[in-house]
């Protein structure tokens, strides 16, 4: 099992230290495994697509598709009591996990869950009717504001485009963060994303390996190329090292970033990473 750089109490202490810096114009980023990222700016925090349980390992335990966890959980979701917003890009359990979201709803009573409008029935069924007032439902191109965060929905093609899949571009302070959700490249994607001036792109790399075709996501080479094509200042790979059957090495991502002169950062789960504004 891969140990996160920081976990549990140590992780929370690090987040608290970062949040205490409410003045300087920096953004703090932690990968929480799979597609989960916590970002904090001036003490306010947003969490992308958290999967912080063993729901899938339990669900598939006795099947021919065992979801053996590779990286230990960074944090108990019940302890995330400081969140302004959480996203869910689509309904697959590694992006919408009731065992993660229900404790977060209880711990962070002011938090809003941002998700594609097409997924409202699914969300209410899983989280209960009381959660309805805390859902921010967005269709393609719509925007919502939660505290200092403005979240705009962009399309995602988990093989095919669908209103039940989304990516998000979050604006906070001087920063734009693109979280693609699960997606492959699709026509018009680059033209849609480039105008945002993305500072940080968070992209999956587990897909479409030439020798082991896993449908639905970018591979490492494509992730680096997409980041370059939209002129992202930084790109961080994700969606690997969570389940043994569905992982990837970041090596091809790293090599392609180097070839393209695209700044990319491979981060460890639970490790704090700081982005500064452009001068």
Query: Rounded distance, CA 242 to CA 78, Å?
Result: 20
- Rounded to 5 degrees, what are φ and ψ at 256? -70, -40
Helix runs in 159-204, H state only:
189-193
CB of 43 to Zn ion, least distance (A): 30
Stretch of residues binding Zn ion (CB under 5 A), selected from 77-85, 92-100, 131-139, 218-226: 92-100
Which CB atom, from 97 or from 182, has the smaller least distance to Zn ion? 182
Q: Binders of Zn ion: how many residues, by CB under 5 A?
A: 2
Q: How far apart are alpha carbons 279 and 101 in whole angstroms?
A: 37
- Determine which residue in the list 97, 152, 182, 199 makes contact with Zn ion, applying CB under 5 A: 182
Which residue from 54, 30, 55, 27 is spatially nearest to 42, judged by alpha carbons? 27
What's the min distance (Å) between Cβ of 147 and Zn ion?
Answer: 27
Nearer of residues 94 and 199 to Zn ion, judged by Cβ: 94
Check residue 94 for interaction with Zn ion (CB under 5 A): yes
| Of residues 260 and 267, the one with the C-beta less far from Zn ion | 267
Closer residue to Zn ion, CB minimum distance, 183 or 225: 183
> Quick one: CA dihedral 60, 65, 70, 71, positive or negative?
negative
Comparison of 28 and 96: residue with beta carbon closer to Zn ion: 96
Contact range with Zn ion by CB under 5 A, out of 88-96, 100-108, 148-156, 250-258:
88-96
Give the H or E element holding residue 253: helix 251-260
Structure tokens at 143: 């925007």
The tokens describing 84, both together, are 């302004």
* Contact indicator for 272, 18 with CB cutoff of 8 Å: yes
Q: How far is the CB of 9 from Zn ion (least distance, A)?
A: 28
**What are the residues binding Zn ion (CB under 5 A)?**
94, 182
């Amino acid at each position: 099992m891969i140990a996160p750089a920081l976990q549990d109490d140590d992780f929370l202490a690090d987040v608290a230290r970062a949040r205490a810096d409410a003045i300087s114009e920096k953004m703090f980023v932690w990968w929480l495994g799979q597609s989960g990222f916590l970002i904090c700016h001036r003490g306010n925090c947003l969490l992308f697509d958290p999967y912080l349980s063993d729901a899938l390992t339990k669900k598939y335990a006795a099947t021919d598709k065992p979801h053996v966890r590779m990286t230990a959980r960074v944090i108990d979701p019940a302890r995330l009591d400081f969140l302004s917003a959480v996203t869910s890009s689509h309904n697959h359990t590694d992006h919408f996990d009731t065992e993660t979201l229900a404790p977060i709803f209880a711990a962070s009573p002011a938090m809003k869950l941002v998700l594609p409008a097409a997924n409202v029935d699914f969300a209410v069924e899983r989280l209960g009717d009381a959660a309805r007032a805390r859902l921010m439902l967005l269709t393609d191109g719509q925007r919502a504001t939660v505290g200092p965060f403005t979240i705009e929905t962009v399309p995602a093609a988990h093989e095919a485009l669908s209103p039940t899949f989304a990516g998000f571009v979050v604006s906070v302070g001087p920063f734009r963060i693109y979280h693609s959700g699960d997606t492959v490249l699709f026509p018009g994607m680059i033209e849609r994303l480039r105008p945002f001036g993305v500072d940080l792109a968070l992209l999956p790399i587990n897909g479409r390996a030439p020798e082991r075709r896993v449908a639905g996501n970018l591979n490492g080479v494509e992730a680096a190329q997409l980041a370059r094509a939209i002129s992202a200042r930084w790109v961080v790979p994700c969606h690997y090292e969570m389940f043994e059957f569905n992982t990837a090495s970041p090596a091809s991502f790293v090599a392609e970033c180097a070839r393209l002169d695209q700044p990319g950062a491979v981060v460890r789960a639970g490790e704090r990473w700081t982005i500064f504004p452009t001068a």
